[in-house]
């Protein structure tokens, strides 16, 4: 079981993640500048990157709309540049997969 939160990036800043090779550094800079909005915290059964991927699927999978509404609300989908915090560890959504922030 993991405690998971989602940090949604200011939509206007998402494009910055498509043009950088250092996703972790860019995300750290965005955190420092207050470019993220903290969403609800929840407990899920997955851990680590699998938990981050579960949150991505919950927010993006149209077959999970009812579950999404209950657990995630009506926020936009998790996308490139967003951060999923799993048990205090930050994972940033990269163009392909997840990168752990140190």
pLDDT tens series, the chain, 102 aa: 999 999 999 988 888 888 888 999 999 999 999 999 999 899 999 999 999 999 999 999 999 999 999 888 889 999 999 999 999 999 999 988 999 997
List CB contacts of 9: < 8 A, sequence separation 6 or more.
Answer: 17, 30, 35, 36, 79, 81, 82, 83
Asked if 24 contacts 70 with a C-beta cutoff of 8 angstroms, the reply is no
The predicted model scores a pTM of: 0.92
Q: Give the model's pLDDT for residue 40.
A: 83
Q: Give the model's pLDDT for residue 20.
A: 85
Q: Give the model's pLDDT for residue 60.
A: 95
What's the angle, vertex CA 88, arms to CA 68 and CA 30, rounded to 5?
80
Q: Cα-flanking dihedrals φ and ψ of residue 26, to 5°? A: -60, -45
What's the angle, vertex CA 97, arms to CA 60 and CA 63, rounded to 5?
20
Q: Give the model's pLDDT for residue 78.
A: 95
């Amino acid at each position: 079981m993991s405690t998971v939160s989602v940090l949604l990036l200011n939509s206007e800043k998402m494009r910055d993640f498509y043009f950088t090779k250092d996703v972790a550094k860019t995300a750290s800079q965005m955190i420092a500048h207050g470019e993220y909005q903290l969403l609800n915290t929840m407990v899920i059964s997955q851990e680590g990157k699998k938990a981050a991927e579960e949150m991505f699927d919950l927010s993006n999978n149209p077959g999970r709309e009812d579950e999404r509404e209950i657990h995630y609300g009506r926020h936009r989908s998790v996308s490139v540049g967003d951060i999923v915090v799993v048990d205090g560890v930050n994972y940033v959504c990269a163009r392909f997969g997840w990168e752990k922030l140190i």
